[in-house]
Chain A
């Protein structure tokens, strides 16, 4: 039944994975916030990816000011090259970000939409044939997240962007 369904919707590969690495504020928030560690859980079906990423930035001046970003991203991974054991993709996507800013007795919650650009490198770990269809792979990603804030003001549409640069290393399992 399931294999019939997979055949119908033409799923060739499914990857599940996790990754960790530094998330570096670039431009805007870099003025006030330090580099942090970010974590991600991702799933790719063919070339379509979805992931959840969490980052918690701390203020450079006070370590009780925290800016948390919960991101859910849908992306397309365009293969630059693809070999039997490794591949590299360009990532383009859009995301929905929940922002939570807490400091002392105050807190602010909101959302912003954003864009993601990046590169993904994946290399299947050799000697894993014994796992049959479950192929583990090392995964490396370089991601730029652009958080877009937009609103009307004095009859004009104004926009502001903030950027972060993530370098993620992780492991993924090709389950199909």
Chain B
């Protein structure tokens, strides 16, 4: 009887290992889909133009500890508060060569970890008076994790990426702009592709620690 135990164990093991395409939940759960480590760099291409995103380091912006990034040498500040990833959004109007801030908010962009079906929407309203003129700003950021897909971009092929549906409405007084589309985030790497308002952006090079 004893020798058959080994057979049972072997069969169970072989059955397990031979089963293809089982779910990679643990793989996804063990990876960071938004790595803001100092020194990380991503280069994207959009309609022939390149965009370089670089994590410069940790800093303190408007009283909040955050990561300091540059996007084509323009400053960006991102922070993570428990599960929420926020970006400092500053909108200004210019009068006579001077910038006046009409919106300044740490806007929630993502809820981590990504998980299928999760959905979040945040609205930020602000009213400011600049030189006697009143500015009403409203920004609504909505995202939904809609799929897990494999993605091919010039930088390589990436498996188990999360596909997010993104809708963002920005209203300043009577003018409204809408951005909508999809983003793909790869494990350990971050954004690899986006299609926003029919414009495709793809990762062409990266250096991630």
- By beta carbon, the residue of chain A nearest B82 is A62
The residues in B between 1 and 50 inclusive whose CB is less than 8 angstroms from any CB of A are 1-2, 5-6, 8-9, 12-13, 15-17, 19-32
Contact partners of A147 in chain B: CB under 8 A? 26
Contact (Cβ within 8 A) B27 A48: no
Q: A61-B82, A76-B6 are in contact. Are A105 and B118 (CB under 8 A)?
A: yes
Contact (Cβ within 8 A) A154 B157: yes
Between B15, B16, B115, B150, the greatest number of chain A beta carbons within 10 A of the residue's beta carbon is seen for: B16
Contact partners of B159 in chain A: CB under 8 A? 153, 158
**Does any Cβ of A come within 8 Å of B145's Cβ?**
yes
Q: At the interface, is chain B mostly helix, strand, loop or mixed?
A: mixed
- By beta carbon, the residue of chain A nearest B188 is A31
Nearest CB of A to B85, in Å: 11
Q: How many A-B residue pairs have CB under 8 A?
A: 147
Q: A32-B32, A115-B13 are in contact. Are A150 and B5 (CB under 8 A)?
A: no
Q: At the interface, is chain A mostly helix, strand, loop or mixed?
A: strand
Contact (Cβ within 8 A) A112 B26: yes
**Does any Cβ of B come within 8 Å of A136's Cβ?**
no
CA distance A61 to B28 in the complex (A): 16
Nearest CB of A to B26, in Å: 4
Contact partners of A101 in chain B: CB under 8 A? 25, 29, 115
- By beta carbon, the residue of chain B nearest A112 is B22
CA distance A101 to B157 in the complex (A): 25
Per-residue CB contact flags for chain B residues 83-118 toward chain A (1 = under 8 Å, else 0) read: 100000000000000000000000000011111111
CA distance A112 to B25 in the complex (A): 9
Per-residue CB contact flags for chain A residues 89-108 toward chain B (1 = under 8 Å, else 0) read: 00011111001011111111
Contact (Cβ within 8 A) A106 B12: no
Nearest CB of A to B111, in Å: 6
**Does any Cβ of B come within 8 Å of A9's Cβ?**
yes
Contact (Cβ within 8 A) A151 B22: yes
Nearest CB of A to B166, in Å: 16
- By beta carbon, the residue of chain A nearest B114 is A106
Contact partners of B26 in chain A: CB under 8 A? 28-29, 67, 99, 112, 147, 149, 160, 162
CA distance A2 to B197 in the complex (A): 73
- By beta carbon, the residue of chain A nearest B13 is A94
Contact partners of B21 in chain A: CB under 8 A? 150-152
**Does any Cβ of B come within 8 Å of A87's Cβ?**
no
CA distance A67 to B28 in the complex (A): 11
Nearest CB of A to B136, in Å: 30
Contact (Cβ within 8 A) B23 A99: yes
Between B32, B83, B159, the greatest number of chain A beta carbons within 10 A of the residue's beta carbon is seen for: B83
CA distance A152 to B19 in the complex (A): 10
B residues contacting A by CB (< 8 A) are 1-2, 5-6, 8-9, 12-13, 15-17, 19-32, 80, 82-83, 111-120, 145, 150, 157, 159
